[in-house]
Amino acid sequence: MSTPQPKWKRIVLLILHQWLIFGIGLACLLAYLFPNVAKHGGVIRSEYSILYGAVAIVFLISGLSIPQDKLVRQLFNWRLHFLVQVTSFLFIPALVLAVVHAILAGDKDARIDRAVLAGYIFTACTPTTIASNVVMTRSAGGDDAAALAEVLIANILGPFVTAGWTVTLLPASEEFEVWRDQNGDLTSMYRDVFKQLGLAVLIPLAVGQMVRFFWPERTAHVIQKYKIAKIGTVCLLLMIWVTFSSCFATGALKALSTETVVFVVLFNIALYVFLTA
């Protein structure tokens, strides 16, 4: 009969096994306590050090980890492209839009902040996030080459699709006119998006693929032996830290009503359950 493990050891093993969840909690706590450190324009200038640096590391690791033939095969997987992009740009916006209209019909007193509803529509029309998608797919044991291919395609299409699609789907009521009218010059937006896509995604990915092409066995050995992929997960935590630091620094969360916060929490849980069931 085996001796039961001490309680402290079981707690340590739980933390090690679920370290990503605990890491997210720690990132949020640090953002709440010290928001000025990682906010945009803060102490560490996270808009460069994290949003460029950490993302570049994620895609450098992806380039080092994924065999060229596997990546090329997924880049020409047209069925997958069709399924993922239709889900991203048509199904998700339709689902969110239906929920938004249901809320507008039942919430005549505007207890749910209309800015949050507009934000949900914008988010639904936005392509999947660049780094977190790849990291989470890899952490879950999924096909990171497929995730990488879809991220690249979606974020090339996104700048051309998102703005017009969002304006089209915004409800035709006076409450949403303030966002519908924000149709100025998009040149700077396109420039910034493709600048980050090139510097933080394509160049690191290409460098990683070149290294793997010339030294495939040695690269795979180092990636496996030193668990380099874990660094990508740490980078994801850094990006979560940056996001919440900016939220807490600007007081965005405090400006929301209790009803809005409850709605956001419950709706996000419902989306997670529905889309992952």
Measure CA 53 to chain center. Answer: 16
17 lies in a domain? no
13 lies in a domain? no
**What single string gives the DSSP state of each residue in 197-249?**
IIIIIIHHHHHHHHHHHHSHHHHHHHHHHTTTHHHHHHHHHHHHHHHHHHHHH
255 lies in a domain? yes
Residue 153 is predicted with a pLDDT of: 92
28 lies in a domain? no
Angle between helices 92-106 and 114-125 (to 10 degrees): 170
Residue 39 is predicted with a pLDDT of: 93
Residue 182 is predicted with a pLDDT of: 61
Amino acid at the residue 266: L
> Which domain covers residue 156, as residue numbers?
42-276
30 lies in a domain? no
Give kind and range of the element (H or E) at residue 37: helix 35-38
36 lies in a domain? no
What gap in Å lies between CA 246 and CA 232, rounded to an integer? 22
Residue 76 is predicted with a pLDDT of: 94
pLDDT in 10s for each residue of the chain, 277 residues: 456 777 777 777 777 777 888 999 999 999 999 999 999 999 999 999 998 999 999 999 999 999 999 999 999 999 999 999 999 999 999 999 999 999 999 988 889 999 999 999 999 999 887 778 888 888 888 899 999 999 999 988 888 888 889 989 999 888 888 877 665 556 777 788 889 889 999 999 999 999 999 999 999 999 999 889 889 889 999 999 999 999 999 888 788 888 999 999 999 999 989 888 7
Residue 135 is predicted with a pLDDT of: 86
Residue 42 is predicted with a pLDDT of: 92
Residue 256 is predicted with a pLDDT of: 86
10 lies in a domain? no
- Give the chain's domain count: 1
What gap in Å lies between CA 50 and CA 235, rounded to an integer? 8
236 lies in a domain? yes
What gap in Å lies between CA 99 and CA 116, rounded to an integer? 12
**Helix/strand number for the chain, H first, E second:** 17, 0
Whether this model's pTM surpasses 0.75 = yes
Contact, 273 vs 125, CB < 8 A? no
